[in-house]
Amino acid sequence: MGRQGPQREGSLGHPSVELTPRGIWGGGETRRPFSMAKTTISANPLSKKRTVLASDTDAVRIYTEQDVTDVLEDNKSFYNSTDERARWGEMTRVASIPTSVYYDLKRRGLVDDKEKFKAWMNDPDNRLFRTRPGRV
């Protein structure tokens, strides 16, 4: 799976998520990384989030980055240690989703639509967030 890059959310009310260093962003868009001067406005070491002000001669952008490496590594450990034949209970943990990804899903309307959210959870591309095998 490799090391994942920072998650991004909140760009003046327009969230985006960068999942890999290749520049894949939320909303199905692919953008080039910023080549702007960056200043950290705030940082939270507990959630590993920081708010950044990026500017150049044409634009100013405020966004939040989140390092989700630990969350993804924990998910991988849970996933690999769970017997896929184990019964599902009512309160079975099936995923751990970083807040930056959650808010991107919320903005896109997936969190509030049970069927779309289940489809997102069962998509093999989102297995990084799963903590156990099987279908939701």
The whole-number pLDDT of residue 117 equals: 96
- Tell me the C-alpha to C-alpha distance, in Å, between residue 120 and each of 5, 59, 63, 82: 20, 33, 24, 21
Q: Tell me the pTM.
A: 0.62
The whole-number pLDDT of residue 78 equals: 93
Residue with tokens 């959630």: 47
pLDDT tens column, 107-134: 999 999 999 999 999 999 999 999 999 8
**Where are the domains positioned within the chain?**
6-67, 69-129
Tokens of 120: 């997102």
Regions of the chain short of the pLDDT cut 70: 1-36
- Tell me the C-alpha to C-alpha distance, in Å, between residue 51 and each of 8, 34, 77, 82: 9, 15, 29, 36
pLDDT tens column, 97-106: 998 889 889 9
Question: Which residues neighbour 70 within 8 Å (Cβ) at sequence distance 6 or greater?
Answer: 48
The whole-number pLDDT of residue 33 equals: 53
Residue with tokens 């590993």: 48
DSSP tag of 131: S
